[in-house]
């Protein structure tokens, strides 16, 4: 059912009969002290249509006060439209028109507000100044008999807000949602900078229900969310985990181009798939969406950070030694193991050979992987990668899992559940202790309860089949935000700067963002079979984190490509900022130089961690807020280049040719699966967003437990450090 919305608005100002230009009419009206007031009731019969279709008009009725004619003159018809497109692409009109009669004569009062997207854009005056003409007759084709300028003052705006009604809303939450939607559209920045700080709480409070539904609400179910949710449920707390993505089953993993690959926070009803790929100037960020978060997509590397990481930039309570017990706990939970010596894929052998031939044998490391291996697996079998070779068993959490068949599809979901993803350990354990997991719940806002007893969490529930969203909310004593680095920063920036519900969040929110220096360099090895589509996606590393190469800290890993990549590569669009990289892959496939000859050297580096996330309004209607990343490669270029130089050196030592993508050599564009920071852990709100226990400065009972609290790059895969911090945060929360 469509939702309608009504409000009352009074605009008044100087007005004169006998002139045709509003500015002239206002001037003369001021001299003669003649004013006109329009008391309008605006009705929008279908809010969503009104906001999306410029031709769908609202209706206007009301009264007019104009002393030369009288006061309280009834006006029974009229139109209201926001943002009517004009011939000037940078300008839109807001239209107010009202028909009335005086002494048997029809009059038509027609006003428009200019909303201009110029650098000196002043929304307050743009949205509150109505250039108005009085026409004789039933519409604005009649001759102009008077003109002036009407304005909406601060007091009238306050009155307007208090008159908003949402007749079609079936719940208080739906009503609040509709008001918020309309308000942002109606007033753009004005809504954020004036209405929300002044009236936000009052508006939201209209739908306040202070019932505490849970002890703890956890937002997100990746490493931070699944672990804190599980441990707090084990302590006997009533826990609810809200996850925006699906609860994926093996049968639903995306495989075909028609499947649910993409996630979009802007269009969650339509795009609610596996990968959330966000593109910013010079940087793209990939994250997964689903119950289990990044563990669903990750390459299984579950490795501890090196002790030097904690030497600077962390509160004194957090050191490598203090985290060690938690690192161990997480390693046990995810049952980490190395690829058994009898089943190294070719790329792992190349890694070892490259290290040896370049004089770096002592830096070669087998990686701890969250994967179950079968000691009897063999590459020498016919069809070694078939699912029939897996050995199924029930794990310690009652879940069925198989053993690895080296199919290479780790990043797109393991067909035999050999990977120890969080939906197979921490999450079922949480559920066994009473935690409730709600997939397809995209959290929008966190608001402190008026009673001071906790927080309200507003979300949209995604109905995949009907492609619809339904608003809802839940309250809890404590809230743990674990929506991943991008998700958490976005949510908290919105709560501070868009909704004004968490005004005490530190001013350093969004700063100190890091890409963790990730880079992938494909290298071609003629006459050598590397087969990067075989075996777990990453198996080993060559460690330069001691800073001995060009003074930069980094480590190199073997990358892997999903088995189905060959087919997908052919269909990839090169009309994209990563087009050059895609076209290298396409040429390899086309020229019968198959991917089996490609080594995707991968790795991470300690970058400058100086990116800044902010929330800004689009300058054109409907003025949506979007999170922006301000990233400059300048201070990180040395670290990334050192990693690439090592990729080249290792390729050369083993007879390969590194093909550094133009996206780097020319554009210095990066893509990262390891975003970190923005809500860094600190000692006070001056240098951090949370304290060492993960609690948000200025908002007691609100916690953050995910990659966003990591204060700087760690130069290797981060999930185990995030997991260890989450274990620690959960342990320190008192029931
Ligand atoms: C292709 C790929 C490979 C990777 N390989 C590795 C690897 O081998 N080793 C490693 O250590 N790391 C790896 N990573 C990185 C790793 O996945 C992340 O560092 C890790 O998952 C971050 O954990 P987190 O708890 O911060 O967030 P996430 O694990 O990303 O969890 C956040 C969760 O919150 C949900 N969410 C977001 N916004 C909302 C909202 N508004 N409402 C409700 N829910 C929300 C998300 O859907 C997600 O499930 C890889 C990442 C990618 C993309
Ligand atoms: S290679 Fe990865 S996806 Fe394939 S079976 Fe092994 S763990 Fe699973």
**Residue 133, strand partner residues:** 110, 147
In the reported structure, the alpha carbon of residue 573 is separated from the centroid of ligand 1 by a whole-number distance in angstroms of 25
Cis peptide before 622 (omega within 30 of 0): yes
- Residue 133 host element (H or E): strand 129-136
List phi, psi (to 5°) of 582: -65, -40
Dig out the tokens for 255 from the structure: 């495989």
In the reported structure, the alpha carbon of residue 604 is separated from the centroid of ligand 2 by a whole-number distance in angstroms of 22
Q: Is 489 helix (H, G, I), strand (E, B) or coil?
A: helix
Considering every ligand atom shown, identify the ligand nearest to the alpha carbon of residue 533 and give its number.
2
Residue range 235-246, pLDDT digits in tens: 999 999 999 999
**Residue 555, strand partner residues:** 543, 604
Q: Is 488 helix (H, G, I), strand (E, B) or coil?
A: helix
Residue 577 pLDDT exceeds 50? no
In the reported structure, the alpha carbon of residue 380 is separated from the centroid of ligand 2 by a whole-number distance in angstroms of 17
List phi, psi (to 5°) of 343: -140, 40
Mean pLDDT: which of 37-51, 156-170, 619-633, 643-657 is highest?
643-657
User: How distant, in Å, are the alpha carbons of 82, 133, 444, 513, 609 from that of 139?
Assistant: 19, 11, 43, 56, 61
3-state helix, strand, coil in the chain (%, to 5): 30, 30, 40
Structure-model confidence comparison of residues 85 and 388, the more confident one: 388
Dig out the tokens for 251 from the structure: 């049968």
Residue range 672-711, pLDDT digits in tens: 999 999 999 999 999 999 999 999 999 999 999 999 999 9
d(CA 276, CA 287): 5
Q: What is the pLDDT of residue 678?
A: 98
What pLDDT band is residue 529 in, cutting at 50, 70 and 90?
confident
- Ligand 2 neighbourhood includes 405 CB (under 6 angstroms): yes
Please spell the DSSP secondary structure of 582-639, one letter per residue. HHHHHHHHHTT--GGGEEEEEEEE-----EEEEEEE-SSTT--EEEEEE--GGGTHHH
Domains present along the chain, CATH in parentheses: 5-199 (no CATH), 214-732 (3.50.50.60)
Considering every ligand atom shown, identify the ligand nearest to the alpha carbon of residue 538 and give its number.
1
CB 603 within 8 A of CB 554: yes
Atom of ligand 1 nearest to the CA of 289: 47
- Ligand 2 neighbourhood includes 408 CB (under 6 angstroms): yes
Structure-model confidence comparison of residues 248 and 587, the more confident one: 248
Q: How many CB atoms lie within 10 A of CB 213?
A: 17
Tell me the Cα Rg of the chain: 30
Atom of ligand 2 nearest to the CA of 372: 7
CB 715 within 8 A of CB 516: yes
Structure-model confidence comparison of residues 587 and 628, the more confident one: 628
Structure-model confidence comparison of residues 119 and 507, the more confident one: 507
Residue 557 pLDDT exceeds 90? yes
**How confident is the prediction for the chain on average, in pLDDT?**
88
Dig out the tokens for 128 from the structure: 């509150």
pTM of the model: 0.78
User: How distant, in Å, are the alpha carbons of 117, 289, 523, 674 from that of 270?
Assistant: 30, 14, 37, 26
Q: How many CB atoms lie within 10 A of CB 477?
A: 17
Atom of ligand 2 nearest to the CA of 407: 4
CB 234 within 8 A of CB 199: no
Nearest to 454 by CA among 180, 700, 634: 700
Pocket test residue of 408, 413, 531 for ligand 2, highest count of atoms within 8 A of CB: 408
In the reported structure, the alpha carbon of residue 482 is separated from the centroid of ligand 1 by a whole-number distance in angstroms of 9
In the reported structure, the alpha carbon of residue 713 is separated from the centroid of ligand 2 by a whole-number distance in angstroms of 28
In the reported structure, the alpha carbon of residue 674 is separated from the centroid of ligand 1 by a whole-number distance in angstroms of 8
Residue 365 pLDDT exceeds 70? yes
Q: What is the pLDDT of residue 197?
A: 59
Considering every ligand atom shown, identify the ligand nearest to the alpha carbon of residue 385 and give its number.
2
Longest dimension (CA), the chain: 100
- Ligand 2 neighbourhood includes 371 CB (under 6 angstroms): yes
Mean pLDDT: which of 103-112, 125-134, 148-157, 331-340 is highest?
331-340
From the number of C-beta atoms within 10 Å of its C-beta (0-12, 13-18, 19+), residue 27 rates as middle
For residues 605-626, give the mean pLDDT.
83
Residue 592 pLDDT exceeds 50? no
Nearest to 673 by CA among 268, 299, 147, 160: 299
Atom of ligand 1 nearest to the CA of 537: 8
User: Which residue's CA is the closest to the ligand 2 atom numbered 8?
Assistant: 414
- Ligand 2 neighbourhood includes 639 CB (under 6 angstroms): no
| Site residues for ligand 1, CB cut-off 6 Å | 219-225, 242-245, 286-290, 293-294, 297-301, 411, 441-443, 482-485, 487, 491, 538, 673-674, 706-707, 717-719, 722
In the reported structure, the alpha carbon of residue 617 is separated from the centroid of ligand 1 by a whole-number distance in angstroms of 26
- Ligand 2 neighbourhood includes 240 CB (under 6 angstroms): no
Pocket test residue of 293, 560, 672 for ligand 1, highest count of atoms within 8 A of CB: 293
Q: Is 723 helix (H, G, I), strand (E, B) or coil?
A: helix
For residues 384-405, give the mean pLDDT.
95
Structure-model confidence comparison of residues 564 and 652, the more confident one: 652
- Ligand 2 neighbourhood includes 538 CB (under 6 angstroms): no
User: Which residue's CA is the closest to the ligand 1 atom numbered 4?
Assistant: 298
What pLDDT band is residue 172 in, cutting at 50, 70 and 90?
low
Considering every ligand atom shown, identify the ligand nearest to the alpha carbon of residue 227 and give its number.
1
Considering every ligand atom shown, identify the ligand nearest to the alpha carbon of residue 534 and give its number.
2
- Ligand 2 neighbourhood includes 419 CB (under 6 angstroms): yes
- Ligand 2 neighbourhood includes 109 CB (under 6 angstroms): no
What is the crossing angle of helices 320-333 and 719-732, to 10°? 100
Mean pLDDT: which of 388-397, 465-474, 574-583 is highest?
388-397
Considering every ligand atom shown, identify the ligand nearest to the alpha carbon of residue 339 and give its number.
2
Residue 629 pLDDT exceeds 90? yes
d(CA 430, CA 437): 9
Count CA within 13 A, CB hemisphere, residue 464: 12
**Residue 100, strand partner residues:** 107
For residues 96-105, give the mean pLDDT.
93
d(CA 75, CA 103): 14
């Amino acid at each position: 059912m469509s939702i309608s919305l009504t409000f009352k608005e009074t605009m008044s100002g100087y007005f004169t009969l006998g002139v045709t230009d509003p500015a002239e009419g206002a001037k003369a009206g001021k001299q003669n002290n003649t004013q006109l007031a329009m008391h309008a009731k605006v009705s929008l019969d279908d809010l969503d249509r009104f906001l999306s279709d410029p031709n769908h008009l609202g209706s206007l009725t009301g009264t007019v006060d104009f002393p030369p004619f009288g006061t309280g003159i009834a006006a029974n018809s009229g139109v209201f439209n926001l943002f009517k497109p004009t011939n000037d692409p940078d300008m839109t009109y807001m239209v107010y028109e009202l028909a009335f009669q005086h002494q048997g004569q029809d009059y038509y009062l027609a006003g428009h507000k200019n909303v201009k997207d110029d650098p000196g854009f002043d929304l307050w005056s743009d949205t509150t100044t109505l250039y108005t003409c009085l026409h004789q007759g039933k519409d604005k084709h009649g001759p102009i008999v008077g003109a002036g300028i009407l304005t909406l003052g601060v007091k009238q705006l306050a009155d307007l807000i208090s008159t908003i009604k949402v007749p079609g809303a079936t719940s208080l939450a739906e009503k609040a949602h509709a008001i918020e939607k309309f308000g942002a559209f109606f007033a753009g920045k004005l809504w954020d900078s004036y209405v929300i700080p002044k009236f936000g709480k009052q508006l939201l409070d209209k739908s306040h229900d202070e019932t505490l539904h849970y002890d703890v609400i956890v937002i997100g179910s990746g490493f931070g969310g699944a672990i804190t949710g599980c441990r707090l449920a084990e302590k006997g707390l009533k826990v609810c985990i809200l996850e925006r993505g699906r609860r994926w089953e093996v049968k639903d993993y995306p495989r075909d181009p028609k499947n649910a690959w993409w996630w979009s926070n802007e269009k969650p009803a339509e795009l609610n798939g596996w990968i959330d790929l966000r593109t910013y100037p010079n940087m793209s960020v990939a994250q997964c969406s689903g119950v289990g978060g990044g563990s669903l997509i990750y390459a299984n590397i579950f490795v501890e950070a090196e002790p030097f990481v904690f030497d600077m930039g962390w509160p004194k309570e957090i050191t490598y030694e203090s985290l060690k017990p938690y690192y161990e706990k997480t390693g046990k939970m995810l049952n980490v193991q190395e690829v058994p010596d009898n089943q190294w894929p070719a790329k792992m052998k190349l890694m070892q050979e490259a290290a040896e031939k370049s004089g770096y044998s002592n830096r070669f490391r087998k990686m701890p992987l969250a994967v179950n291996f079968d000691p009897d697996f063999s590459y020498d079998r016919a069809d070694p990668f078939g699912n029939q070779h897996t050995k199924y068993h029930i794990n310690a959490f009652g879940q069925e899992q198989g053993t690895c068949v080296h199919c290479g599809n780790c990043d797109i979901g393991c067909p035999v559940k050999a990977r120890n993803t969080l939906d197979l350990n921490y999450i079922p354990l949480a559920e066994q202790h009473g935690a409730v997991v709600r997939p397809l719940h995209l959290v929008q806002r966190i608001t402190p309860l008026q009673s001071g007893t906790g927080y309200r969490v507003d979300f949209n529930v995604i109905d995949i089949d009907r492609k619809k969203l339904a608003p809802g909310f839940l309250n809890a004593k404590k809230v743990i935000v674990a929506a991943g680095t991008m998700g958490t920063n976005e949510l908290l920036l919105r709560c501070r700067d868009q909704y004004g519900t968490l005004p005490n969040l530190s001013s350093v929110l969004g700063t100190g963002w890091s890409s963790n220096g990730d880079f992938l360099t494909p290298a071609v090895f003629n006459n050598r079979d590397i087969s990067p589509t075989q075996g777990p996606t990453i198996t080993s590393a060559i460690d330069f984190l001691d800073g001995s190469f060009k003074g930069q800290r980094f480590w190199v890993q073997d990358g892997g490509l999903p088995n189905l990549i060959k087919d997908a590569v052919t269909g990839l669009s090169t009309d994209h900022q990563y087009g050059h990289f895609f076209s290298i892959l396409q040429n390899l496939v086309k020229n019968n130089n198959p991917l089996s000859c490609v080594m995707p050297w991968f790795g991470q580096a300690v970058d400058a961690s100086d990116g800044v996330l902010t929330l800004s309004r689009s300058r054109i209607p409907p003025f949506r807020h979007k999170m922006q990343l301000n990233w400059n490669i300048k201070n990180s270029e040395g670290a990334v280049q050192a990693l690439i130089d090592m990729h080249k050196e290792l390729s050369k030592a083993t007879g390969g040719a590194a093909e550094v993508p133009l996206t780097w050599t020319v554009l210095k564009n990066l893509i990262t699966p390891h975003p970190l920071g923005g809500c860094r852990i600190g000692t006070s709100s001056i240098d951090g967003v949370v304290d060492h226990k993960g609690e948000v400065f200025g908002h007691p009972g609100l916690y953050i437990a995910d990659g966003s609290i990591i204060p700087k790059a760690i130069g290797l895969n981060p999930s185990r450090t995030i997991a260890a911090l989450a274990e620690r945060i959960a342990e320190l929360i008192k029931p």
